[in-house]
């Protein structure tokens, strides 16, 4: 007997992981609610499929969020939420434009939080559900030029870890996904940069931006295989809270954890010296 199709609500389906996930799920016969700020961008892929609904959604707009969740709730509720909507921003901390980084947080952090809060009551009432938050290796490792972007993705990781512990006994599972370099549009037309570059950062931030531009479209990660990996985690009876995707990302995370452990060990005496003495 085939399993009952689940309701998957996916944000940011125009490109990248959102689109790849929707395509794989449609092929599997799941019920997909594919969203985008501009729904017409999805017609070329999703038109004509009975098991997909294309919905307009800007995650920075509360009325959009509630309208979309109401649609899914009218058809049984959200079984799996994929918080994928987001984009990249490369700028030195000093170069960052206030409007740009505030908007980055509105989408990458506050939009994700609002989406999650909108589906949690239904999941809690049913005693089941899975929230998948797409973060980044940049949410675990900070790199030059990614300070603002990394701040949004570090926030997603912390939010997800806390939610996983809060929701565990409610039947709700949480996974935060950390892709490394993938052949999505992240480093292409979706990437935003500083409006007023500062020459002093030529050999750090600007060099990295040039490198990202050169590898765009040639990254090692395959979005379709990445989507299948995410689905394997959701299908697992014991899904991970953290899921790193791709060999380059895994290497970066492991190197960072090793370096972090060595630094903590080197400063252990100073760390422990910050406590009251045992006899105090």
Looking at residue 191, its pLDDT comes to: 77
Q: Write down the pLDDT at residue 46.
A: 75
Higher pLDDT residue, 221 or 128?
Answer: 128
If one compares 177 and 212, the residue with the highest pLDDT of the two is: 177
Indicate whether this model's pTM tops 0.85: yes
Gap between the Cα atoms of 210 and 68, Å rounded: 38
| CA distance linking residue 160 with residue 172, whole number of Å | 12
pLDDT tens readout for residues 180-223: 877 666 545 667 888 888 999 988 888 887 877 666 656 677 89
| 201 contacts: CB under 8 Å, gap ≥ 6 | 92, 94, 95, 144, 145
Residue in 14, 153, 160, 192 annotated catalytic:
153
Q: Do residues 9 and 80 touch, judged by C-beta distance below 8 A?
A: yes
149 a catalytic residue: yes
Specify whether the CB–CB gap between 31 and 6 falls below 8 A. Answer: yes
- Backbone φ, ψ for residue 27 (5° rounding): -65, -30
pLDDT digits (tens, 9 = 90+) for 261-273: 999 999 999 999 9
Domain ranges of the chain: 7-249
Q: Which of 87, 89, 101, 149 is catalytic?
A: 149
CATH architecture of 7-249: 3-Layer(aba) Sandwich (3.40)
For residue range 42-75, list pLDDT tens digits in order: 877 777 788 999 999 999 999 999 999 999 999 9
Name the active-site residue from 14, 89, 101, 135.
135
Q: What is the DSSP string of 80-143?
A: EEEE-----EE--TTT--HHHHHHHHIIIIIIHHHHHHHHHHHHHHHT-EEEEEE--GGGTS--
């Amino acid at each position: 007997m085939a399993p009952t199709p689940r309701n998957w609500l996916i944000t940011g389906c125009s490109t990248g992981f959102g689109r790849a996930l929707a395509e794989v799920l449609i092929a599997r016969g799941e019920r997909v609610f594919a969203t985008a700020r501009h729904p017409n961008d999805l017609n070329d892929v999703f038109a004509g499929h009975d098991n997909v609904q294309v919905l307009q959604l800007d995650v920075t707009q509360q009325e959009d969020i509630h309208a979309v969740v109401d649609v899914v709730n009218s058809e049984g509720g959200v079984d799996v939420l994929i918080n994928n909507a987001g984009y990249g921003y490369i700028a030195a901390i000093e170069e960052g434009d206030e409007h740009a980084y505030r908007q980055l947080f509105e989408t990458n952090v506050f939009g994700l939080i609002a989406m999650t809060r909108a589906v949690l009551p239904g999941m809690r009432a049913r005693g089941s559900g899975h929230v998948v938050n797409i973060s980044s290796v940049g949410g675990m490792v900070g790199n030059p030029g990614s300070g603002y972007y990394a701040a949004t993705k570090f926030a997603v990781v912390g939010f997800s870890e806390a939610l996983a512990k809060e929701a565990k006994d409610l039947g709700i599972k949480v996974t935060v996904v950390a892709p490394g370099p993938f052949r999505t549009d992240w480093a292409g037309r979706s990437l935003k940069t500083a409006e007023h570059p500062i020459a002093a950062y030529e050999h750090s931030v600007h060099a990295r931006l040039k490198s990202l531009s050169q590898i765009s479209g040639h990254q090692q990660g395959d979005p379709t295989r990445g989507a299948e990996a995410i689905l394997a985690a959701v299908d697992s009876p014991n899904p991970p809270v953290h899921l790193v995707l791709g060999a380059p990302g895994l290497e970066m995370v492991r190197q960072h954890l090793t370096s972090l452990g060595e630094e903590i060990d080197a400063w252990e005496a100073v760390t422990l010296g910050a406590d009251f003495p045992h006899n105090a």
